[in-house]
Amino acid sequence: MGSSFGHMFRVTTWGESHGGGVGVVVDGCPPRLEVDDREIQAELDRRRPGASPLTSARKEKDQVKILSGVFEGRTLGTPILLLVQNVDARAADYEDLRDVYRPSHADFTYEAKYGIRNWQGGGRASARETVGRVAAGAIARRLLIRECDTEIIGYVRSVHTIEANVDPEHVRFQDVEQSEVRCPDREASRTMIELIQDVKESGDSLGGVVECVARRVPPGLGEPVFDKLDADLAKAILSIPATKGFEIGSGFSGTRLKGSEHNDPFEMRNGRVRTATNRSGGVQGGISNGESIVVRAAFKPTATIAKMQKTVSRDGKITEIRPRGRHDPCVLPRAVPIVEAMVALVLADHLLRQRAIGGR
């Protein structure tokens, strides 16, 4: 069903925002892969709330427990179960929302689909669900490093109208992480932080764009026609809560170019077929071409804001709400490791699929 993703490297996330915990089952991971729970924890620490004044005040340590599938630091080839317990859930903060629909949330649509919903923090619709994605992504990243030394780096490209100047080919992880907003452009980072702080004080929120680059991806990954690599990347990215747009390579800006300007000419470099430019974003015909894969995810402004908003109740009455609870004024800084995780899951799955057909 809708809680599982992938074919050969398959993940299933579970849990609700204010339930006992959240986590993931990873099935299909090859045996004998070295897995260090400290690496998984490091990725969860990047995603967790309460780590910065720019994020939600919810205090979760997000301590991961590996309950199966790993023995003496290596995978067994059997399903891996990762658990993170919720320790700072405050269901009472949502009591006023039991019978009303929050604007731009999934309250109404979940109830329309199932006839029931978890009104405590949104249940499965909450970004708390992404804990499992990030934990699984850390294992996928380890597989990609072992098999092809693939490096995945995400960063904030823009917040509201502030655009960073970043070269995907040369951006460094340490430059991203030194920024509180995870933007490697120092000047843009300072401006973004100031704007987010101002908007937070006013009770409002902001959106923006996360860009992610995957370097040293082997050519040949992707399954035409419907499981193209870029199609699966799009599905993965758009499945992240609050995403509203996806681009790869030149994206929508490529529509403003002529074919003679947009095409990536082939050349020989160090005995390998390469492209002189990378407007394709590392994927041509749905298959990786060996160049860096560059994708962008557009995130809407956080739906929960500390301002009075009009809505309707379950019995159809017009009303107004000012939601309580702890929410990010801008989801972009915490979205970076989630985007990286989803890119890693897609690439790991397609790498195993390529190996299964005897590909290189």
Which tens digits make up the pLDDT trace of 210-238?
999 999 999 999 999 999 999 999 999 99
- In Å, how far from its chain's centre is CA 158? 16
**Measured between alpha carbons, how far is residue 52 from residues 58, 165, 168, 195, 260 in Å?**
11, 24, 25, 15, 46
Host domain of residue 322? 4-356
- Residue 122: predicted pLDDT: 82
Q: What is the pLDDT of residues 83-119, one digit of tens each?
A: 999 887 666 777 778 899 999 999 999 999 999 998 8
Please report, in angstroms and rounded to a whole number, the separation of the first and last CA atoms in the chain. 31
Q: What is the pLDDT of residues 45-91, one digit of tens each?
A: 999 876 667 776 666 788 999 999 999 999 999 999 999 998 876 66
Question: How many domains are contained in the chain?
Answer: 1
Mean local confidence (pLDDT), 15-41: 95
pLDDT at residue 206 tops 80: yes
- Residue 355: predicted pLDDT: 94
DSSP 87-152: -S--GGGGGGGTTB--TTSSHHHHHHHHS----STTGGGSGGGHHHHHHHHHHHHHHHHHHH--EE
Across 202-349, the runs of DSSP E, i.e. the strands, are 208-215, 243-248, 266-269, 272-275, 283-284, 287-288, 293-299, 309-312, 318-321
**Measured between alpha carbons, how far is residue 252 from residues 2, 295, 334 in Å?**
28, 12, 25
DSSP secondary-structure letter at 330? B
Residue 195 maps to which CATH number? 3.60.150.10
- In Å, how far from its chain's centre is CA 295? 11
- Residue 328: predicted pLDDT: 86
- Residue indicated by tokens 């317990």: 85
d(CA 28, CA 174): 31
Mean pLDDT of the chain: 93
- Residue 327: predicted pLDDT: 79
Instruction: Measure the CA angle with vertex 301, ends 295 and 304; round to 5°.
Output: 135
CB 284 within 8 A of CB 248: no
List CB contacts of 44: < 8 A, sequence separation 6 or more: 62, 64, 84, 131, 134, 135, 138
CB 287 within 8 A of CB 220: yes
Mean local confidence (pLDDT), 243-250: 98
- Residue 208: predicted pLDDT: 98
Higher pLDDT among residues 88 and 168, named by residue: 168
Q: Identify the band that residue 354 occupies on the pLDDT scale cut at 50, 70 and 90.
A: very high
Question: Which residues is 83 bridged to in the sheet?
Answer: 23, 65
